[in-house]
Structure 1
Amino acid sequence: MSIGNSPEDDRPSEDRIQPADDDRPSIGRALQQARVDAGLSVDEVSQSTRVRIPIVQAIEQDDFSRCGGDVYARGHIRTLARAVGLDAEPLLEQYGDEHGGRPAPTPATPLFETERIRSEPRRPNWTAAMVAAIVAVVAFVGYTAFSGGDSDSSQQQAAEGSTPATSKPTTTKPSPSKKPTDPKPDPTDSAIAAAPADKVTVKVNASDGRSWISAKDHNGRIMFDGLLQDGQTKTFQDNQKIDLVLGDAGAIKLYVNGKQIEDEFQSGQVERLSYTKGDPEVG
């Protein structure tokens, strides 16, 4: 396809053929005669020059209207002359004499040489895109791992509960509307030996195996309810009375108000006991 040309049909326009004003053969006749002398057909010239067949035929009949302008016409004349072995300069001078001299120069690249074959559009570079995507994924994973490690270390530090030496302990003031409850610390063995006379103190020692126990104060509030493992000890204290339930009394040794209870409980036996300030006698 010749650039800048859109023929309406394959026949040259006879009304545009310029008659020769001198004895020189016309441009089209000179090109045609040279082609015939070279033994070339119109198809062969068209294939070698990339100028379409209708345009070659029109130029050989001195019809330059299909060229799309003087610039393109001169380019086609030069190309066809080169293909059939003619010197293009006399033909170009003759064209200038017949069509108003040389055309004004144009800044564009001469597109009249031959019909260019368009190169195929560049396909996207999928390899580069894949490499970029992989790099982005690796960077994201690295950033996530790095950030996660920092958060884990900070969480671990918070879990360890380390506090600065200069920090002041927080103090809570008791509410004036609530009556303070009686403290029930776990007294040591020495404290049990010197148990206060105005309280009832009971020490439970799972010396021969584990046992489920339950302890309540004189108001029926649960002081402990759970499994006492082998070797564990629990101590309870109240102002008036302590009620005990021993799931396996044979595994328990009891100390009431500093004195050991000498009762022989059977293994697997469930005992319900109550002790007051004046014991050690089973209530």
Structure 2
Amino acid sequence: MSIGNSPPADDRPSVGRAIQQARIGAGLTVDEVSTTTRVRIPIVHAIEQDDFTRCGGAVYARGHIRTLARAVHVDANALVAQYDAEHGGGVTPTPAGPLFEAERIRPEPRRPNWTAAMVAAIVAVVGFVGFTLFSDADQGKDSTVAGESASAESTVKPTPVKPADPKPDPTESAIAGVPADKVTVKITAAKGASWISAKDVNGRLLHEGVLQRGASKTFTDSKRIDLVLGDAGAVQLFVNGKEVTKVGDAGQVERLSYTKGDPEAG
């Protein structure tokens, strides 16, 4: 069903009614639509009755409308435009107060400047590797001039290697693998599809929509990444190279903010 060429506003069905009619026409139950979209059954019922108060705000209402419209094969853009026309239109700022019981906002912690330390460590490692390679080359030349005995000894003699440092802690290795002067967030829909939203420190929208199962998105910013996860239990989250072991429960909406450094330190 498509409402791209909809009848006059007085005759066309409401947003919720259009979704309900399309779902019935597609032979789908509310349970089936909820399973496919990860939108909870009570919210699906409420939207089909044109009750958007359970969505948690206009931004989430638009996201649910788009997700449900695609699931029942109806024009999502037209329905969102109709919703905006009927409810004032435009994206309004999210209230400062919590929208969900489970939401948590992490303040930006003050952290030491690791950039200089990391640069010094990298320079030291590169210098050591270059010195080792140069020394090996000189030893090979000296062995050739010294004669067959010295050459054979040089061939079989192992290259002096500095004793390996203890393996770093997995957390330190993971954080060292990403730029220390940026915050890097990678989201993977490991267990199922989830609606996600990502913004940078200035509130600029980086992404908004449904992340299908198995798909990944990576976001970076110089200071902070703000996330909204429609189904926290369905995603796998890596922040600054380290996996966040507990994002949230299945079907739970989470609002999270991350800055540079270890995501667990704050």
TM range (shorter): 0.3 to 0.5
The structure with the largest alpha-carbon Rg is 1
